[in-house]
Amino acid sequence: MTPKERVLAAVHHQEPDRVPINYQGNPGITARLIAHYGLAEGDYEGLIRKLGVDFRGVGPAYTGPKLHEDVPGRNVDLWGIHTRYIEHGSGGYWDFCDFPLREATVEEVAAWPMPSPDDYDYSAIAEACERQAEFAINGSAGFGDIINGNGMLRGMEQTLIDLVTDDPAGLLLADRRMAIQLEMTERILEAADGRVDFLWLGEDLGTQIAPIISLATFRKHIRLRYQPFCDLAAKYGLFVMMHTCGSSSWAYEDFIEMGIHVVDTLQPEAKDMSPEYLKRTFGGRLAFHGCISTAGPLATGSVDDVVGIVKETLEIMMPGGGYCFAPTHMIQDNTPTENAVAMYDAAHRYGVY
């Protein structure tokens, strides 16, 4: 099978030739894997081909004006999100900080500079799709990610208060961001002219032990803002994959009603997120992408431990199709190179139908 055929078969609950494979990793582990396979520095495409990754993505280049002033000691992106670099024992992160809209009024949120869909160049989308035609292609302009996305500008505490209290400033921020991403996504799909296969959305809904928000709050403020993306995917005949960190299976019945086909991340240590529970409860109604924990044996165990958890997960998830092999999130820099290599070697060894 081609990678595209493999992914589409799995998503439609058919058994492909082997389990589809995906990769996500932090810069440190990615660089070490590139070196391990003897590739040129920065050859990310070469790496994911070595790993057998079946997924790709396309997107437009930003060509608009600079929207936010530089801040000393900070990185400031197009949306005005501030980050600072924090080093730790095995690498470093660009950590969100300052939260410039934490105390913003409705008027201030309405005036906050954001990129316009008109400020992107969509002319290279068709060629990118053609170049990657053998793969399953994601055409989303962004995850959406109301809680995290708003949290990067208003802080997590204020963002959660916004959802509980119906704060108009916080809700306006979510609506502005989502409207831009929705318009950009439709323009990507138009430019792709039928060569995109899915939209990858995302909303972190759980901690390790419980939901972050109630089902009532999810339905009131989250679900309705994602429904237009699901409707857009249906219009173009695409499948929808939804990224949800933490304990999030409590929302999956709603996902099915919304037209979401695949759930991503699937942290097995979180409440009601084990492979057994997910396959038993939602198998045949949702497909799965993830399950290999970046906080488990991959980071802390031996090569044999990694091979064991990969084999066990595949034995549970593969029957009847409906599973794509992937880490639960970005593989972290504290992961031994040999463990990451063993993870993907095991996927190819034990993931054949």
> What average pLDDT does range 294-305 have in this prediction?
97
What's the confidence (pLDDT) of residue 89?
A: 87
CA atoms of 200 and 229, how far apart (whole Å) = 10
pTM for the predicted model, two decimal places: 0.97
> What average pLDDT does range 320-348 have in this prediction?
97
Q: 165-200 burial, b if ≥16 CB within 10 A, otherwise e?
A: eebebbbbbbeebbebbbebbbbbbebbeebbbbbb
173 pLDDT above the threshold of 90: yes
> What average pLDDT does range 206-230 have in this prediction?
98
CA atoms of 11 and 286, how far apart (whole Å) = 8
Other CB atoms within 10 A of residue 132 CB: 18
DSSP state of 18: B
Domain segments of the chain: what residues?
3-65+112-350
User: Residues 143, 79: contact at Cβ < 8 Å?
Assistant: no
DSSP state of 220: I
> What average pLDDT does range 109-120 have in this prediction?
98
Confidence of residue 107 (pLDDT cuts 50, 70, 90): very high
> What average pLDDT does range 59-69 have in this prediction?
98
pLDDT digits (tens, 9 = 90+) for 93-103: 899 999 999 99
Confidence of residue 277 (pLDDT cuts 50, 70, 90): very high
90 pLDDT above the threshold of 90: no
> What average pLDDT does range 65-92 have in this prediction?
95
What's the confidence (pLDDT) of residue 198?
A: 98
Classify domain 3-65+112-350 at the CATH topology level: TIM Barrel (3.20.20)
> What average pLDDT does range 328-346 have in this prediction?
97
**How far apart, in Å, are the Cα atoms of 13 and each of 221, 238, 258, 297, 320?**
31, 15, 18, 28, 6
